[in-house]
Amino acid sequence: MRNKNLLIVTLVLGLIAFAAVRLTREAPKTEAGKQPLVAAALLEGAKSLTIKANNKSVTVEKSADGWTVKEKLSLPADVENRLLPLIRGLQKANNFGQLTANPKRLEKLGLADSSLTLVGPDGKPTTIQFGKPTEDGLGASARLAGQEFAIRTDFSAYLEGDPLSWVDLTLFSAKPAEIKSIGFEWKDGKAAFSRKELGALFEGNEGPAVEDIVMTLATVRAADAVALDDKDVAKAVRSSQVKLTLFDGTVATLTFANLAGTAPTDPGKTFLRVEHSDPKHKANATAKLAAFVAAPWLAEQVPGSLADFKKAQQAPAAEGAPSTIQIPGPAPTIITSPEIKLK
């Protein structure tokens, strides 16, 4: 009986010792034991970064002209909204040491779902796999390349593998009040509107509508980008051109080209090209790399013809009264042909 009790005590002590070792091995590291997840020198001298996530992959490369997106025609990357937040997140991220080396636990962490590879100034890649949050909610799991165990980290930035989301699709941006005049050129005519001075509103019956259009075009952001030799680009037909002249004298020219849909449920596409009077403006460089697809809402808010513009100015007829067409007032001049002017 005494031997039996001794055996039970020995087994209990053994289990306690095993649990203590296990907890010590997999317990979160203290602040004193943390170290940077990524070395500062690697972040500062990185030549490229590759993200694999959501079954997609994107590589952002550093060149003499800045950061570009390899899979999207080497267009400029969105540094402000994509790259800088990621780099800042990595600069703050810590490695709190080993989380687990248990194969079954490693499998459950989903470490193969997303990864980040940084190529340093020496040309050597460093890969970090990111997995699910830890079970205790005190961080996230990760694994450094070449290691057979997962670590605990406080890195929490969202990794996006879609190349399009990394492209800087802003083609033109200005404050609406900085736009002095706007000119339209359609197949069926032209129209031009100007502010009298900085801070003034556009006048005339068309003033409010012109203000809305200027607000829309003050920041022009594309929805997608395709190769210049894309078959859809070749089929698109120019529909209108808009010139925005700023008070500083610079001019942005927006050219729209429409591609009709191939089915009743297909709305088609509107391609947009932006050219700027300043040779160094980024719109001129990107126009040589890709053709940009306008967002549907943008195409809808910019009149596609003089007829559409005039129709939008018509005041709703009173109930029971005959319909009348409101001819634009004297503030702007709308030209339907070189010889005829409507006022």
240-263 pLDDT, tens digit per residue, is 999 999 999 999 999 999 999 988
pLDDT reported for residue 30: 47
Alpha helix positions (H), the chain: 2-26, 40-44, 84-92, 103-108, 207-217, 231-235, 282-286, 296-301, 306-313
DSSP secondary structure code for residue 79 in this structure: I
Task: Say if residue 323's pLDDT is above 90.
Answer: no
Give the type of residue at 117.
T
Q: How far apart are CA 291 and CA 233, in angstroms?
A: 7
Torsion, Cα of 36, 40, 46, 50 (10° steps): 10
Mean pLDDT of 16-38: 56
Residue appearing with tokens 């070189």: 338
**278 — pLDDT class (breaks 50, 70, 90):** very high
Give the type of residue at 129.
Q
Q: When comparing pLDDT for 317 and 90, which is higher?
A: 90
pLDDT reported for residue 47: 97
For residue range 177-200, list pLDDT tens digits in order. 999 999 999 999 999 999 999 999
pLDDT reported for residue 127: 97
Count the neighbouring beta carbons within 10 Å of the beta carbon of residue 102: 14
Percent of the chain with pLDDT over 70: 82
For residue range 139-190, list pLDDT tens digits in order. 899 999 889 999 999 998 889 999 999 999 999 999 999 999 999 999 999 9
Domain ranges of the chain: 33-166, 170-314+326-342
Beta bridge partners of 340: none
Distances (CA, A) of 77 to 114, 252, 300: 20, 22, 27
pLDDT reported for residue 331: 45
Tell me how many degrees the CA angle 191-214-287 measures, rounded to the nearest 5. 90
Distances (CA, A) of 181 to 251, 298, 308, 330: 10, 19, 20, 16
For residue range 43-91, list pLDDT tens digits in order. 999 999 999 999 999 999 999 889 999 999 999 999 999 999 999 999 9
Q: How far apart are CA 177 and CA 246, in angstroms?
A: 9
Mean pLDDT of 102-121: 94
pLDDT reported for residue 55: 95
Distances (CA, A) of 44 to 55, 62, 71, 155: 28, 12, 23, 18
pLDDT reported for residue 315: 53
Q: When comparing pLDDT for 324 and 218, which is higher?
A: 218
pLDDT reported for residue 11: 44
Q: How far apart are CA 322 and CA 168, in angstroms?
A: 50
Distances (CA, A) of 146 to 33, 40, 90, 126, 150: 21, 20, 20, 10, 11
Task: Say if residue 22's pLDDT is above 50.
Answer: no
Residues in the chain: 343
Q: For the chain, what is the mean pLDDT?
A: 86
Tell me how many degrees the CA angle 249-253-254 measures, rounded to the nearest 5. 145
